[in-house]
Structure 1
Amino acid sequence: MARVLLAEDHEIVRRGIRSLLESYGDWEICGEAADGPEAVRLAIQERPDVAILDYFMPKLNGLQVVRQVRKVLPQIQILMFTQHDNEDLIRDILRAGVRSFLLKTEADEHLIRAVNALSLSQPYFTARASEAMLASFISSRKPAPHLTARERQTVQFIAEGASNKKIAAELGVSVKTIETHRSTAMRKLGAKSMAELIRYAMRHKLVEP
Structure 2
Amino acid sequence: MLHDQSKVTLVIVDDHPIVIQGLKTLLADETRIEITGSFTNGSAIIPFLREHQVDVVLLDIMLPDMNGVELCREIKIISPRTCVLALSNHTERSLIMQILQNGAGGYLLKNASIEELISCINKALNGEVAFSKEVEDIIMRPSLNDLKGRPQLTKREKQILQLIAEGKTTAIMAEELFISPFTVETHRRNLIQKFEVNNAAELIKIAIQQQLLT
The TM-score, its normalising length taken from structure 2, stands at 0.68
Cα deviation code 1:105-138 (max 9, x no counterpart): 1143411222233334443223322222223499
Q: Does 1:25 align with 2:31?
A: yes
State the one-letter code of the partner of 1:16.
G
Q: Does 1:2 align with 2:8?
A: yes
Displacement of 1:10 after TM fit?
Answer: 0.4
| 1:92 counterpart SS class | helix
> Any unmatched runs of 5+ in structure 1?
162-178, 181-186
Who is 1:126 aligned against? 132
Displacement of 1:146 after TM fit?
Answer: 5.7
In 2, the alpha carbon distance for the partners of 1:26 and 1:133 equals 30
> Any unmatched runs of 5+ in structure 2?
1-6, 167-175, 178-186, 193-198
Who is 1:112 aligned against? 118
Aligned 8 A contact 2:42 2:65 in 1: yes
Aligned 8 A contact 1:36 1:65 in 2: yes
Distance change >3 Å, CA 128–CA 199, structure 1 → 2? closer
In 1, the alpha carbon distance for the partners of 2:46 and 2:207 equals 22
Displacement of 1:139 after TM fit?
Answer: 7.4
State the one-letter code of the partner of 2:57.
A
| 1:52 counterpart SS class | strand
Q: 1:48 aligns with which of 25, 41, 54?
A: 54
The TM-score, its normalising length taken from structure 1, stands at 0.69
Displacement of 1:37 after TM fit?
Answer: 1.4
Distance change >3 Å, CA 138–CA 44, structure 1 → 2? farther
Aligned 8 A contact 2:109 2:134 in 1: no
Q: Does 1:204 align with 2:204?
A: no
Displacement of 1:25 after TM fit?
Answer: 1.1
Identity %: 26
Higher radius of gyration, 1 or 2 = 2
State the one-letter code of the partner of 1:61.
N
In 1, the alpha carbon distance for the partners of 2:63 and 2:146 equals 29
Distance change >3 Å, CA 80–CA 41, structure 1 → 2? same
1:82-101 correspondence to structure 2 within 5 Å: 82-101=88-107
In 1, the alpha carbon distance for the partners of 2:146 and 2:99 equals 18
State the one-letter code of the partner of 1:190.
L
Displacement of 1:190 after TM fit?
Answer: 2.7
| 1:56 counterpart SS class | coil
- CA RMSD across the alignment: 3.9
Distance change >3 Å, CA 139–CA 75, structure 1 → 2? farther
Q: 1:66 aligns with which of 59, 68, 72?
A: 72
In 2, the alpha carbon distance for the partners of 1:76 and 1:55 equals 17
In 2, the alpha carbon distance for the partners of 1:204 and 1:107 equals 27
